[in-house]
Structure 1
Amino acid sequence: MNAFLEVRSVAKAFGGNQVLRDVSLQIAAGEIVGLLGPNGSGKSTLLNVITGFTPADAGEVEFDGTAIERLDAHRIVRTGMARTFQLPSMPSRMSVMEVAMAASTAHHGVWDTWLFTRGARQAEREARDRAEQLLAELLLTPVRDLPASALSGGQKKLLGIVCALMARPRMLLLDEPTAGVHPNLRRDIVTALQRLNAAGMTLVIVEHDMHFIREVCTRCVVLDRGEIVASCRPDALASNERVLQAYLGAAARPSTSALEAA
């Protein structure tokens, strides 16, 4: 595998709690990888380490040939990697369109906003066009002028994806994009992610919904107690002994339906 993202021997502890233990993985360009594991297995911490929100205690992270483990989060975005959050918090005094535009400003730099130059005006027009396009693609145009905080949970997650895409990333990492989302909006999220991947986007998705994983992902990486215990296709999860032990305990001999329930 030619690695687009490579994580090597990453470790992270919070006090006496060792959350990640010698984690190594590779992700190729164009993959849709599900990052799975029971609660407390280290999934969100690994996502935070990769994207620069949490410094690792040890190990290396390389994205498209560039070492990024020492970069701040905003500098990692500039390399072509963006992320969403499990519980996106939206400002109450900004509209959906304004939030999308602010995401673009964060990417291009605040000086272009403050200095009223010809280049800044052009950048603003391009950002607005980009925001309009993404809001339309993710079905948020009807609410573009509403306060972002007034959106439903599912719409906030769609707006989080819009904000991440304003940076024009080549890899997108998502933290539980369908958790608590209405089934109708869940379908919209699935469709949007499949369309992004078809256009060349590499995706890494933390998710608990096994139906979503089978529908969207091409490969699954499973964490348990801070260690990777499996890397396999979604249809192989239910027959993988290490995965079954991670979710249901070493003594369990569960059925496929039991794993789905987990």
Structure 2
Amino acid sequence: MGKLHIDSLSKSFNGNDILKDIYISCETGKVVGILGRNGTGKSTLLKIIFGTSKGDYQYIRVDNKVLQHQWDRKNKIAYLPQDFFLPKGIKIKNLIPIFCNKENSEKLTESDLIKPFLYETSRNLSGGEKKIVEALLIIFSESKFILLDEPFNGLSPKMTTEIQKLIIEQSKDKGIIISDHRYQEVLDISDEIYLLADSHLKSIKDLKELQQYNYLPKSI
């Protein structure tokens, strides 16, 4: 079992607290969901964990290794951002071995979800198709911990269900942190749920708590 541990993480912009005293952990074998309204800092939190942004204070550890630099994350943490990241001129089949080890490369190449795109380049894919390919590359990547920022955005209900299944399947050996505005899809596959509101991360044990914090309407 592996563990990703984040403690006392704080971030402010122009004197305003965005993230304050954030604590969250994720173990391999689990899916952790983070909910929150637009602008509450979910993406900022994931970027700091991944290492592409810096907190005012942060303590991030994978197992016994404290992560202080971007290169410390190699093969430990992979991140699916909201923005597209695939290089435009490389065929998808040639990108798979860059992200995945041999076993997962073979498994992903045989997936019906990616087969239609193997000989295409990113520039020939629609926005939804890019999202599918990028999500698959990250979910199947060699890293022990996976951060997913809006993985269901722009996907059809059928494709969302397929990606959910793969997240659950890969979480048997990995720890996955997922944030998406489609809260029901996050709730359906998460072992633990957190709500980011008022710069603090709150552990959610019951759906009613999301209503109490005004994230969901009382009528649900």
The normalised TM-score by structure 1 is 0.75
Structure 1, residues 131-162: CA drift from partner, whole Å, max 9, x if none?
Answer: 34313236212220111232233332232234
Matching residue within 205, 214, 231 for 2:178: 205
1:64 aligns with 2:63: yes
1:92 aligns with 2:88: yes
Inter-partner Cα distance in structure 1 for 2:26 and 2:204: 11
Percent identical: 24
SS of 1:240's partner is: helix
Matching residue within 188, 213, 216 for 1:245: 213
The question of whether the paired residues in 2 share the 8 Å contact of 1:42 and 1:225 is answered with no
Matches within 5 A, 1:73-152: 74-78=71-75, 80-103=76-99, 130-137=104-111, 139-152=113-126
Structure 1, residues 110-133: CA drift from partner, whole Å, max 9, x if none?
Answer: xxxxxxxxxxxxxxxx75x75343
Inter-partner Cα distance in structure 2 for 1:20 and 1:53: 16
Inter-partner Cα distance in structure 1 for 2:161 and 2:18: 33
Change in 2 beyond 3 A, CA 1:254/1:188: same
- Aligned-pair CA distance for 1:166: 6.0
- In the other structure, the counterpart of 1:26 is 25
1:254 aligns with 2:218: yes
Inter-partner Cα distance in structure 1 for 2:160 and 2:91: 23
Matches within 5 A, 1:174-253: 174-197=148-171, 199-232=172-205, 236-237=206-207, 239-240=208-209, 244-247=212-215
**Structure (1/2) with the larger helix percentage:** 1
Structure 1 unpaired stretches of 5+:
105-125, 257-262
SS of 2:213's partner is: helix
Inter-partner Cα distance in structure 2 for 1:211 and 1:166: 23
SS of 1:137's partner is: coil
- In the other structure, the counterpart of 2:40 is 41
Inter-partner Cα distance in structure 1 for 2:14 and 2:175: 33
The question of whether the paired residues in 1 share the 8 Å contact of 2:88 and 2:121 is answered with yes
Inter-partner Cα distance in structure 2 for 1:62 and 1:34: 19
The question of whether the paired residues in 2 share the 8 Å contact of 1:99 and 1:148 is answered with no
Inter-partner Cα distance in structure 1 for 2:31 and 2:57: 26
Structure 1, residues 195-252: CA drift from partner, whole Å, max 9, x if none?
Answer: 112x3221110111122023211110111022113332xxx12x116x533426xxxx
Change in 2 beyond 3 A, CA 1:77/1:162: farther
Inter-partner Cα distance in structure 2 for 1:62 and 1:168: 18
Which structure is larger by alpha-carbon Rg, 1 or 2?
1
**Structure (1/2) with the larger strand percentage:** 2
The normalised TM-score by structure 2 is 0.88
Structure 2 unpaired stretches of 5+:
none
